Amino acid sequence: MAESLQNKKILITSGPTWVPIDDVRVISNISTGELGQTLARKSQGLGADVTMLEGPVEKRLALEGVTIKPFKYYSELMTLLRDELSRNDVRYDAIFHAAAVSDYTIQNPSTTKMKSDEPTIQLDLIPLPKLIRSIRKLAPKSLIIGFKLESDMNEELAVSSTTKLFSDAYCDLVLANTLKEQNYLGYVVENQTILASAESRAAVADALLDVVSRKLNAQDK
């Protein structure tokens, strides 16, 4: 069972992000934000002061005491994250970057609605900066938890797919999981070591918070 997170300040990013195609269409992903919402509920239940940056999910979290700051677009999340981590009045003990952040954007999105009767439309995609790589610079003393989603997941992939999040983004922990509703599987990884695994969102959230709470409380001793 996780230790108390009393008086700990937790920041969670959650849900999908959008990038514009034109002024009415977007590219998105199928993230539901459920894991981020689960982490918010359970963190608050352990006594944490929780702030969540929440993308355009079907049903926003409504939980008294949790501060929700909504966003839709990649650019909005980038601004929110930078502003939140640059505040002088708050230092977050842990940051869970669980949002499914867009990897690409349209090179030249249209400022007006594209015609729908064109026989073909070509969209040129260019990569976006990885927001996770900016967090350590903005929050050098926070415990940073990255998330790695794959179409399938196993122990070997959990280790190999998370390597760059430790080397390039300086994460302290990574949750490697799969989006499959059936046979859900998640691993809590620390560098090359798997610390825990679980087969549901609720159970993997418990496992992750157990590790995080122990690490944060150990820092206080």
Would residue 3 count as lying in a domain?
no
Model confidence at 5: pLDDT above 70: yes
Would residue 57 count as lying in a domain?
yes
Cα-based angle 91, 42, 103 (whole degrees, multiple of 5): 65
Closest CA to 14 of 63, 42, 51: 51
Contact 52, 105 (CB under 8 A): no
Would residue 1 count as lying in a domain?
no
pLDDT confidence of 180, banded at 50, 70, 90?
low
Would residue 205 count as lying in a domain?
yes
Would residue 17 count as lying in a domain?
yes
Would residue 2 count as lying in a domain?
no
**Residue 172's domain is classified under what CATH number?**
3.40.50.10300
Domain that holds residue 86: 9-219
pLDDT at 196: 96
User: Could you read off the pLDDT of 7-36 as tens digits, one per residue?
Assistant: 999 999 999 999 999 999 999 998 999 999
Would residue 109 count as lying in a domain?
yes
**How far apart (Å, rounded) are the C-alpha atoms in residues 80 and 155?**
34
Number of domains in the chain: 1
pLDDT at 3: 83
Model confidence at 117: pLDDT above 90: no
pTM comes to 0.95
**Helices assigned H by DSSP within the chain:** 34-45, 74-85, 132-138, 155-160, 163-167, 201-219
Instruction: Give the mean model confidence (pLDDT) for residues 149-165.
Output: 94
- If one compares 124 and 181, the residue with the highest pLDDT of the two is 124
Would residue 4 count as lying in a domain?
no
pLDDT confidence of 1, banded at 50, 70, 90?
low
